[in-house]
Structure 1
Amino acid sequence: MLSVSALASLQDKDNNSLQNRDARDSAIACISLGVPLVTGGGWLILGSRRQNRKLLSQHLQSTFYDLVELGEGRISVLKFAKEANITGTEAKQYLDKQAKEFNATFDHGKQGGIYYHFHI
């Protein structure tokens, strides 16, 4: 806000020379302080996002391996979504990716559900 007011006073032609210099100095000070602060804040936000993605990835991987082990290689989208606390779409995407990576097969359950079968 300070830089906006400083820039606005720079554009006012009725100001005397001393006021113009003060406004220019204020604008330079605001920019020299504001840019590093905004850059630092952006850097912190990006770092936080990376950390959150890493934690989520670790949580999903841990949940996946636990459920595969407990189910003796068999896992459903609903079970994984419930245990990992994610949406069904996210669970299906994750399991599809893992199925490709580990060459899993698919089974149909008695109630019509699809189960991923990972060969342990």
Structure 2
Amino acid sequence: MAIFEWIFLTGFGVLAGVSLTNIIQSRQQQSRLEQAFYQLLEVENGNVSLIQLAAAARVNAELAKSYLDTQVKFFGAVPEVDDDGDEFYRFPKLRRWSEPEEWQ
């Protein structure tokens, strides 16, 4: 009977470890996507393509597309095509508000 308990506990431990690893990896990918997205918005003057986002965040294209689709809907981005035929999204311009002197 003890062997079955050991096998069960070992299997449960492995399953819990794999699940925890997946959760951590997912959070890291989400963080990289967010960081890359906002950096691209600033550097590319509001224009972001799927391949730029996937490369900058170092995630697969499917995950980058899902994230980008969400941002497109949320911010109301406009799809456009450049001279080479590549699709990108034009997001509303970033506006930096100057801080009142009392905040500095």
TM-score w.r.t. structure 1 length? 0.68
Find the partner of 1:111 among 84, 92, 98: 84
User: Which of these two proteins has the greater Rg computed from alpha carbons?
Assistant: 1
Q: 1:92 Cα deviation (Å)?
A: 3.1
User: Deviations for 1:63-120, whole angstroms, at most 9, x for unmatched residues?
Assistant: 1111111112111222223222334444333322210121111222122221201113
Find the partner of 2:38 among 65, 68, 79: 65
Answer yes or no: is 1:52 the counterpart of 2:25. Answer: yes
Name the % identity: 25
User: Deviations for 1:14-69, whole angstroms, at most 9, x for unmatched residues?
Assistant: xxxxxxxxxxxxxx010122211211221111011111111111111111111111
Q: Where do 1:1-120 residues align within 5 Å?
A: 28-119=1-92, 120=94
Q: Which has the higher contact order (CA 8 A, sep 6+)?
A: 2
Greater share of residues in helix: 1
Amino acid aligned to 1:95: L
For residue 54 of structure 1, give the secondary structure of its aligned residue in structure 2. helix
Show structure 1 runs of 5+ residues with no match. 1-27
Q: Count the aligned residue pairs.
A: 93
Provide the alpha-carbon RMSD of the alignment.
Answer: 1.7
TM-score w.r.t. structure 2 length? 0.77
